Structure 1
Amino acid sequence: MNWSPITGALAGLALVALPSLAQAAPRDPSGIWLTEDGKARIRVEKCGAQNTNICGYAVWLKTPLNDEGKPRVDFRNPDPKKQARASLGHQMIMGLKPNSEGKYEGKIYNAENGKFYDVTIWSEAQGELSVRGCMLGFLCGSQTWEQKGDLAQGQLTGPTNGANGPRADAEWAPKGNPAVANA
């Protein structure tokens, strides 16, 4: 087969372009992360029917009790059925999906105001998780969370929906798990 200079150039361009067309595999963000303000530790883990999504749970709060000495509850939640649930252990990252940029995107819940935001999370450096939340698609803010390997006093350590563990919202709970508290 004779290769012309044009054919050779096209073949070379194809070889250079192919790697950029491949979808970047996101770095697994699973772990315990301290929020930038130091008020909470969030456990990030795989979830969903195929275990390919990312969910996150508040497993430690700097101030777990309210002014009356009772556990804080999610009283600002727009779902009346969830307003009495404890803030410690609730799900806040909702089944993020991998995107073509090697990041995860979806929704995050802010218990401080009872609102959901678009969120993208990714990890470019070991021990750091970048979290970018947006409202209306253009009003955005970013934080960097720090990975924690130690155990904080009062931190939930059990499996999701298990003893001393956080609770998945019903739509993200492992199938066949009767222990879903937030259904």
Structure 2
Amino acid sequence: MNTRLFAAFALCMLMTAPALAADPTGLWQTPSRSGQVEISRCGANLCGRLVSSEGLKADPALKDVNNSNASLRSRPLKGVTILSGFSGGPKEWTGGSIYNAEDGKTYSGSITLDGDDTLKLRGCIVAPLCKTQSWTRLR
């Protein structure tokens, strides 16, 4: 009897493995300024916060000085939510916003999981004025 239970459990684990592999949550490396973003679930959506960057390594107290909203310019940059409101899956999430701390602006965007370890982030002022970046999974 225990052998059948174990076999059923093993089969269930094998069947769920691909779903776990396509999970975009985790720590991701951005292509600019050695940025690291932690992507997690925020309710039914995806969100991401800035964990590290060249600037934060040099000054952990770095502020969000370029924010287009003057009242937010004194907030610490570490931990700032830069991805919010992305819904969908399992390979593509849309309808979200991408905050770019370098210019202090927020863009509409989409996220596409390209394999297990690459994310394609597309941010747009208005279509077709868009830019795409590839992020690499760190963990």
TM bucket, shorter chain: 0.7 to 0.9
Taking the aligned partners of 2:76 and 2:34, their CA distance within structure 1 comes to 16
Q: What TM-score, normalized to structure 2?
A: 0.75
Q: Rg larger in 1 or in 2?
A: 1
User: In the alignment, is residue 96 of structure 1 matched against residue 91 of structure 2?
Assistant: no
Taking the aligned partners of 2:138 and 2:61, their CA distance within structure 1 comes to 24
Q: Quote the offset at 1:136 in angstroms.
A: 1.4
CA gap 1:38/1:113 in 2 versus in 1, 3 angstroms: closer
Q: Quote the offset at 1:41 in angstroms.
A: 0.2
- The one-character-per-residue Cα deviations of 1:10-51 (angstroms, maximum 9, x if unpaired) are xxxxxxxxxxxxxxxxx431010000125210000000xxx1
2:102 to 112, 117, 128: 112
Taking the aligned partners of 2:56 and 2:60, their CA distance within structure 1 comes to 8
Q: What TM-score, normalized to structure 1?
A: 0.58
User: In the alignment, is residue 63 of structure 1 matched against residue 58 of structure 2?
Assistant: no
Root-mean-square deviation (CA, aligned residues, Å) is 2.0
Q: Quote the offset at 1:89 in angstroms.
A: 1.1
Q: Is the 8 A contact 1:56 1:93 kept in 2?
A: yes
Taking the aligned partners of 1:104 and 1:70, their CA distance within structure 2 comes to 31
Following TM superposition, the consecutive aligned residue runs of length 4 or more in structure 1 with deviations greater than 4 angstroms are none
Q: Is the 8 A contact 2:37 2:48 kept in 1?
A: yes
- Aligned residue for 2:136? 146
Question: What percentage of aligned pairs have identical amino acids?
Answer: 28
Matches within 5 A, 1:126-141: 126-141=116-131
Taking the aligned partners of 1:52 and 1:139, their CA distance within structure 2 comes to 28
Q: Is the 8 A contact 2:91 2:113 kept in 1?
A: no
What code does the residue aligned with 1:59 have?
V
User: In the alignment, is residue 36 of structure 1 matched against residue 31 of structure 2?
Assistant: yes
Which has a greater percent of strand?
Answer: 2
- Alignment partner of 2:131: what SS? strand
- The one-character-per-residue Cα deviations of 1:88-136 (angstroms, maximum 9, x if unpaired) are 111100121217x941121100011111111110112111111111111
Unaligned runs of 5+ in 1: 1-26, 150-183
Which has a greater percent of helix?
Answer: 2
CA gap 1:45/1:70 in 2 versus in 1, 3 angstroms: closer
Taking the aligned partners of 2:61 and 2:83, their CA distance within structure 1 comes to 21
